[in-house]
Chains A and B, each alone.
Chain A
Amino acid sequence: MIEVVSADRCIRCDICERVCPAFVFDRDETGLPVIARQDDCQTCFLCEIYCPTDALYVAEQAHGPTGITEPEALQRDLFGAYARSLGWSRGRAGGAENDPTRHIRVAQV
């Protein structure tokens, strides 16, 4: 589930609030996203890759929060991890042209 919104990294754009398919975020009076409906999160990690500053962290447990903190996510280099492995950067798409999945599909049979 979505667990961490880094107030330091966040630039107060409205992207995560708009792109979350489960409508999890509200924003406070300063424009900072607030995790308002955490239990609706479907752990799809998509808010992370749309975030232009890697300010969001979604933990892997789908049924409830793990309690991970921002310093731990930072120390383990987890901010932006999914975006990096896809080839997305600063909220922009990229890397699909390098997808090696065809090799997997050939070997799968």
Chain B
Amino acid sequence: MASRRKEPPAEDGRLIETDVLVVGGGPAAAWAALSAAETGARVVLADKGYHGTSGATAPSNTGTWCVPPGEDRAASVERRFKRTAGLADRRWMLRAADRAYENLQKLVEWGYPFPSEEDGSLYIANLRGPDYMRFMRQRVQKAGVTILDHHPILELLGDDNHIGGAAGVVRRTGAGFRVSAGGIVLATGGCAFFERILGGTGLTGDGHLFAAEAGASLSGMEFTGKYTLAPHGSSLNKGLPFRWATFYRKNGEVLRDARGEPVTNGIGGGERQVAEAMLSGPVYARLDLADPAMQDWLRRGQPNCFQPYDRMGINPFGDLFRVELKYEGTVRGTGGIRIVSSECGTGIAGLYAAGDAASRENVTGGISGGGAINASWAIASGWWAGHGAAQHARRCQNREIVRLRSLGTTGLRGTAERVDIDLADAARTVHAEIAPLDKSYWRTTETLETSRRTLEHVWAGLRQAKPATGIDRLRAREVASVTASARWTIAAALLRTESRGVHRRRDFPGEDEAQASRILVSGLDQVTAVREDRALPMAQEG
């Protein structure tokens, strides 16, 4: 394989020293890198893909939760809080709204090309993914951050008291590299569980696994029953155009709700009925409620959504087309690494989490948060985590990477048995236990128990597999982190014997006041799930 590269390939075992290491390449990673660099810290950003295109944001067009300062802000938080199934935190919502607003103003200052309102003022409540992430890369470069594209991190390095580095692999060569850092931000994104959604290939919950191996907990993993409509077979899990859809059977018969009304608005009231209908056969849609002005705005404002239709040669405003609900795991669902301090510390010294890698319960509670809240959370949590990691790096100046242990386990270091394993088969099995509507849109004790047993079997197989080498380590670790994330999801979903937010139990359809607390999961070979209000306080700042 001949390939011309501008930079020379890294030698095996190359060691990079820095103050802050940011793992990931989406918006949370970019804001964390900028925030740490602003304090004067040396920063390395190691992205599994290319910082500027990787993650769920770059291929999208996302709203922001943009709440200007003033009296209305508290009211806006209160309105949002009512939709969070009782598990958000008003203090965090307020500070997230504030931080996101401040940083959106920075984008204005830096010259991001926001569109104008009719009165000439800038409309900053929306960011176009490709442009936003390309712009962020340029800012990150300008801030002096060292960007390592296609340098996936495979594991953390640490001792009994703190995390002090990470090790990864260079995709082009398969060579290893290590980074010694005073503070580390995990901004690795959510876990898409191998569903083919925008950004999904790289979103394998890597940071979840790293954090758990370091001893951190995760939270909210049961709030992963999140799906979004897409043209069937496509990657376009963007729901906005379906606001103007009516839903049909293949023969053109319109779907009707319990009162006999046509099922419409696939991102609102219609979603559940569409999901129900899909259990008994294919569902079709037509964006027939969009008037000509809206059709024009949708086409020009959401051009990514129209790529599948244009390429298939169909007119979605006039033709029926088949749809599916794409599973979104923790990408639009909510669970992730538990945050225990204001600076987004994980409870493990030196380790911080931001964006979709972190649990978003503080701002979204038990619901998805949609694009807007989640985009603002990425901006705010990235900023805080970058500051926290930089501060931590300043506090521990004498660092010796030789003392640190490799914390990676499954996929990197097997047990003594060393059996061959088919990773593609393992990936398909895990996806099949988590992505179908009758597994994660609706859950029952029975389906969850069946999945739990299957996933335990997959995990045991991964544990016994021959350790991967070279670039194959990446896939081995991705399958391990998705499998671990699936096991945490199932454990949390089994413990929550009620329906709340985007966790729906067929066998417990109602909300139970006594379960209005968060669920924490932890552990690798032995997974445990506990209710936060009964867990021991974990107050140690990250």
Q: Mark B1-31, 1 if CB is under 8 A from A, else 0.
A: 1111110000000000000000001000000
| B372 closest partner in A (C-beta) | A105
Q: Mark A73-105, 1 if CB is under 8 A from B, else 0.
A: 000101001100110100001011111111111
| B303 closest partner in A (C-beta) | A85
| B126 closest partner in A (C-beta) | A101
Q: Mark B95-125, 1 if CB is under 8 A from A, else 0.
A: 0000000000000000011111100000101
CB A1 to nearest CB in B, in angstroms, measures 9
Q: Is B273 an interface residue (CB 8 A)?
A: no
Q: Is B199 an interface residue (CB 8 A)?
A: yes
A102/B150 in contact, CB under 8 A:
no
Task: List residues of A (5-58) whose CB comes within 8 Å of B's CBs.
Answer: 14, 17-23, 26-29, 31, 36, 40-46, 49-50
B61/A62 in contact, CB under 8 A:
no
| B133 closest partner in A (C-beta) | A46
Total A-B residue pairs with C-beta atoms closer than 8 Å?
159
How far is B296's CA from A44's CA once the two chains are assembled, in angstroms? 22
CB neighbours (8 Å) of A93 from chain B are: 130-131, 134-135
Q: Is B235 an interface residue (CB 8 A)?
A: yes
Q: Mark B300-318, 1 if CB is under 8 A from A, else 0.
A: 1111101110111100000
A86/B6 in contact, CB under 8 A:
no
Residues of A in contact, count (CB < 8 Å)? 49
Q: CB within 8 A of B116: which of A29, A97, A107? A: A97
B234/A43 in contact, CB under 8 A:
yes
A96/B3 in contact, CB under 8 A:
no
Query: Taking each of A96, A100, A108, which has the highest tally of chain B beta carbons within 10 Å of its own beta carbon?
Result: A96
Known: A62-B233, A86-B303, A102-B125. A46 touches B3 (CB 8 A): no
Query: Taking each of A18, A59, A100, A104, which has the highest tally of chain B beta carbons within 10 Å of its own beta carbon?
Result: A104
CB neighbours (8 Å) of A19 from chain B are: 50, 52-53
CB neighbours (8 Å) of B3 from chain A are: 17, 26-27
| B294 closest partner in A (C-beta) | A107
Q: Is A69 an interface residue (CB 8 A)?
A: no
Q: CB within 8 A of A82: which of B123, B202, B297, B303? A: B303
A101/B59 in contact, CB under 8 A:
no
Q: CB within 8 A of A103: which of B5, B132, B198, B297? A: B297
Query: Taking each of B116, B201, B240, B310, which has the highest tally of chain A beta carbons within 10 Å of its own beta carbon?
Result: B201
Query: Taking each of A29, A59, A85, which has the highest tally of chain B beta carbons within 10 Å of its own beta carbon?
Result: A85
Size class of the B contact interface (CB-based, 8 Å): 35 or more
CB neighbours (8 Å) of B233 from chain A are: 60-63
Q: Is B200 an interface residue (CB 8 A)?
A: yes
How far is B49's CA from A108's CA once the two chains are assembled, in angstroms? 33
A82/B198 in contact, CB under 8 A:
no
CB neighbours (8 Å) of B112 from chain A are: 96
CB neighbours (8 Å) of A22 from chain B are: 49, 201-202
Known: A22-B49, A99-B301, A101-B126. A27 touches B55 (CB 8 A): no
Q: Is B509 an interface residue (CB 8 A)?
A: no
A98/B115 in contact, CB under 8 A:
yes
Known: A21-B50, A101-B297, A104-B301. A60 touches B201 (CB 8 A): no
How far is B230's CA from A103's CA once the two chains are assembled, in angstroms? 22
How far is B4's CA from A29's CA once the two chains are assembled, in angstroms? 9
CB neighbours (8 Å) of A44 from chain B are: 53, 58-59, 198-199, 235
CB neighbours (8 Å) of A42 from chain B are: 59, 196-202, 235
A45/B115 in contact, CB under 8 A:
no
Q: Is B171 an interface residue (CB 8 A)?
A: yes
Known: A93-B134, A99-B128. A31 touches B52 (CB 8 A): no
| A57 closest partner in B (C-beta) | B311
How far is B51's CA from A20's CA once the two chains are assembled, in angstroms? 10
CB neighbours (8 Å) of B308 from chain A are: 60
B312/A49 in contact, CB under 8 A:
no
How far is B204's CA from A75's CA once the two chains are assembled, in angstroms? 38
CB A20 to nearest CB in B, in angstroms, measures 7
| B306 closest partner in A (C-beta) | A85
How far is B343's CA from A100's CA once the two chains are assembled, in angstroms? 36
CB B423 to nearest CB in A, in angstroms, measures 13
How far is B345's CA from A76's CA once the two chains are assembled, in angstroms? 52
Query: Taking each of A42, A78, A88, which has the highest tally of chain B beta carbons within 10 Å of its own beta carbon?
Result: A42
Known: A18-B149, A88-B130. A101 touches B61 (CB 8 A): yes
Q: Is B74 an interface residue (CB 8 A)?
A: no
Q: Is B54 an interface residue (CB 8 A)?
A: yes
CB neighbours (8 Å) of B114 from chain A are: 96-97
A60/B300 in contact, CB under 8 A:
no
Closest 10 CB pairs of A and B: A21-B49, A101-B301, A43-B235, A85-B303, A44-B59, A21-B54, A42-B201, A62-B235, A62-B196, A60-B308
Residues on A facing B (Cβ under 8 Å): 14, 17-23, 26-29, 31, 36, 40-46, 49-50, 59-63, 76, 78, 81-82, 85-86, 88, 93, 95-105, 107-108
Residue pairs across A and B with Cβ atoms less than 8 A apart, 24 shown, are A21-B54, A23-B150, A26-B1, A27-B2, A31-B4, A41-B201, A42-B197, A42-B199, A42-B201, A46-B59, A50-B53, A60-B231, A60-B312, A63-B196, A85-B303, A86-B303, A93-B130, A96-B115, A101-B61, A101-B115, A101-B302, A104-B294, A108-B240, A108-B243
